Structure 1
Amino acid sequence: MQRKLQIENILFLDIETVPENENFENLTEEKKELWAQKTKYQRKEDFTPEEFYDRAGIWAEFGKIVCISVGYFTFKGTIRNFRVTSFYGDEHQLLLDFKNMLETHFNKPQHLLCAHNGKEFDFPYIARRMIINGIALPNKLNLMGKKPWEIPHIDTMELWRFGDYKHFTSLKLLTNILNIPSPKDDIDGSMVRAVFYEQNDLDKIIIYCEKDTVAVAQVLLKFQGDDILSPEEILHV
């Protein structure tokens, strides 16, 4: 974090995911067995495959994206704004819309994607779901043949590690220790499946996703020694 990034060239994002099928019993027998094999190490002897299924949204092979929220900075003279918008609903369509935005507005070499734990979760998850949905990867997510320094991704968790790859720090903890205002939410990531399938409240998920996107931008501003955003500078579009 010695060199300042051009903040207006960065697209900040966060995703929310749920199991692709609401219930374990809706899976084919083959998919049930594949799920059991995939999660055997994580479950150990503590859970059956069915009991563990509410966590299926974590894996792109068994989950799906229900919301992608993005944010970007705009400057007009001394006026700074952070514009936030979301793609949600049908996964195939939201992925197409997200891809179109990347290819239309964030397709230049200087453009970067930024997320918290994005290199291990958000970026590969989006890419995998695009391939599963038969959507050709946009350049910003197609890493084939690229050298590490050519990958256009920023990960705020990776930056906070300072080379310590055993260290995991949640976005919530990071905003707390950096004194970044974080409005209290009535949901967290572990509750998204229930909010989506049981409460049918996609709006609540969108609000939660957009708050995390703003938080990622605030963290990067802190890392760079810049003033964080005021509520008046955050525009939902």
Structure 2
Amino acid sequence: MKIGFIGVGNMAKAIIEGLMSKGVEAKNIFIHSAHKSNYEVYSQETGVSACESNSEVIEKSDVVFLAVKPIIVEKVLKEVKDSVLTHDPVLVSVVTGVSVAELEDILGSKDVKIVRTMPNVNVEIGEGMTALHKNDNVSDEDYQLVKELFEKIGKVADIEEKDFSTFVALAGSSPAFVYFFIDSLARSGVKYGLNKQKATQIAAQAVLGSALKVLKSDKTPWELVDDVSSPGGTTVAGLLAMEEAGFMTSIVKGVDATISKDKG
């Protein structure tokens, strides 16, 4: 399979590097972006093929990732419209906040094959979480191929398009929330004498182990909270102090704000 990327920003690079780490050969990946120095240097660093235009990417690829900023997606798609309609690749959009219907309207066709996706940055290390939604033109076979690409670099969830904004908050933006939480834990350790590096390693491993426990357990997260909370103990004291400070409310408000921003 030949895989193309229109746009070579952070998310595209995360996907590319995740795929290559799972055995996708660099020679089968084609890239182009508006910044020539950026994509040429990236091509030299990774061995992926640099193309002279977005249309060339489409002509050489079976699956094309559209990985540009929302503000320029219309300009880019109008530029490659003829190539898309002629070569008929599966167009995989990772553009935030742009629906399948909007992409079809820009291309002026309801016959294009589009899979809307929302990966998170952890695809780079093979631990991503990606939402997928296809239009009716994508065959089950083609959809499975796209799913398998993302399954190489994490987990996937088939969701309704109306739920993408919620997914953005729960999986797309949440890595930053978790990094913030880990850093806050680490800084608390520094307050009591640990150096920052050691405190960060301790906090990150604790979060990693806790996440794996949730995924492997039949219990709900709250039941797991109860499991480690002895009556009158230190953990209960910490939980009560965090809730008094508005811990859960702050998380919900963060999700609310993320969804609101995504919906515009």
Structure-1-length-normalised TM-score: 0.25
* Greater length-normalized contact order (CA 8 Å, ≥ 6 residues apart): 1
Greater CA radius of gyration, 1 or 2?
A: 2
- Greater share of helix residues, 1 or 2? 2
Return the structure number with greater strand share: 1
